[in-house]
């Protein structure tokens, strides 16, 4: 996403599947593409806040309890927007069985894994966890070769992969040292989550499922249920008594912004704006999210965080260019 998925550059910077869904629309040209792209630019800015929301929520009430409210509230916002558009809300939940199964792992489990990663990580590792998630464009290339029989140009793919992993190393460097011990578990959660999102995106392409039929509202509702079950098993609900106004703010902002409104705005922008322009702007998400994490969580701001984010964004752009003819 958050997002994330969110986007999902995913996304959640979105996402490759978003590009595919919008590519069927006539391309906007001239000044029209800039005006029409405005809503999607807002969604990109909202997605930059996904990691911050997850960490803030985890600190105050636990990662799974917060995620329950964030994704459950986001699903309700999606239903409300559907009603305001005078479209039947039931259409958000009528999905092919294989999309339900793939989306459960590619959206619900992915979001849970990412939230756990942000909740468990040491403050100094938040930037690294965030950027591990944004390796999903590299996973998409690998999975496209295996599942779609695509044959991208090898030189930009190899250069993009190397640049991306070099960005990971750089993101945690402080001078010429690697500070402290690294807790691998949140890193593995973030890495696995990005892989699940990439697999979901590739499967949507393989099945020719348009983005608007991908069931985002349904899968975020499933995510809320899954997170609530985990929160009950880990005792997080006992912490609700200490919830204050700041936590309520992050719940409302996370649900309405990165989860709820952002996907709606992205769809508007991709239908009315410039697809290639937005695809390029979406690579700002790992940079913007890293900047916010560094500003709001001081221990995460090492000298290599922003250069590492730029390197990962550059690697993703190189990988994408391998498919462009």
Confidence of residue 205 (pLDDT cuts 50, 70, 90): confident
Total number of residues shown for the chain: 325
In this prediction, residue 33 carries a pLDDT of: 56
Distance between CA atoms of residues 79 and 130, nearest Å: 29
Do 15 and 23 meet the contact criterion of CB atoms below 8 Å apart? no
- Burial annotation 266-297 (CB, 10 A radius, 16+ → b, else e): bbbbbbbbbbebbbebbbbbbbbbbbbbbeeb
**0.75 cut: is pTM over it?**
yes
pLDDT band at 6 (very low <50, low <70, confident <90, very high): very low
How confident is the model at residue 7, as a pLDDT? 34
> Cα dihedral sign for 183, 285, 318, 174?
negative
Mind listing the pLDDT tens digit for each residue in 234-270?
A: 999 998 877 899 999 999 999 999 999 998 888 788 7
d(CA 265, CA 106): 21
Rounded Cα gap, residues 55 and 38, in angstroms: 28
CA distance 160 to 138: 8
Residue 104, pLDDT above cutoff 80: yes
- Mean residue pLDDT of the chain comes to 83
Cα angle 112-114-118, degrees, rounded to a multiple of 5:
115
Other Cβ atoms closer than 10 A to 311? 23
pLDDT of residue 324: 55
């Amino acid at each position: 996403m958050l997002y994330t998925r969110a986007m999902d550059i995913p996304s959640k910077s979105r996402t490759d599947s978003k590009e595919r869904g919008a590519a069927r629309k006539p391309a906007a040209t001239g000044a029209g593409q800039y005006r029409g792209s405005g809503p999607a630019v807002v969604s990109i800015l909202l997605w930059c806040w996904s990691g911050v929301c997850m960490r803030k929520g985890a600190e105050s009430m636990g990662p799974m309890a917060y995620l329950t409210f964030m994704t459950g509230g986001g699903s309700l916002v999606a239903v409300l927007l559907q009603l305001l558009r005078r479209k039947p809300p039931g259409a958000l939940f009528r999905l092919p069985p294989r999309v339900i199964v793939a989306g459960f792992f590619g959206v619900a489990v992915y979001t849970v894994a990412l939230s756990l990663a942000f909740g468990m990580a040491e403050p100094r590792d938040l930037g690294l966890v965030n950027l591990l998630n944004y390796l999903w464009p590299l996973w998409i290339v690998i999975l496209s070769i295996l599942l779609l029989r695509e044959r991208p140009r090898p030189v930009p793919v190899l250069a993009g992969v190397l640049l991306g992993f070099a960005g990971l190393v750089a993101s945690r460097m402080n001078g010429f040292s690697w500070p402290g011990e690294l807790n691998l578990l949140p890193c593995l959660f973030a890495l696995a989550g990005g892989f699940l999102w990439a697999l979901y995106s590739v499967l949507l392409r393989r099945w020719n499922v348009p983005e608007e039929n991908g069931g985002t509202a349904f899968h975020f509702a499933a995510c809320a249920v899954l997170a609530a079950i985990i929160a009950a098993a880990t005792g997080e609900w006992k912490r609700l008594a200490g919830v204050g106004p700041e936590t309520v703010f992050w719940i409302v902002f996370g649900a309405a912004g990165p989860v709820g409104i952002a996907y709606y705005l992205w769809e508007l922008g991709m239908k009315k704006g410039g697809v290639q322009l937005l695809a390029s702007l979406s690579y700002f998400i790992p940079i913007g999210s890293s900047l916010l994490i560094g500003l709001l969580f001081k221990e995460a701001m090492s000298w290599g965080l922003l250069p590492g984010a730029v390197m990962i964004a550059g690697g993703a752009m190189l990988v994408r260019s391998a498919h462009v003819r």
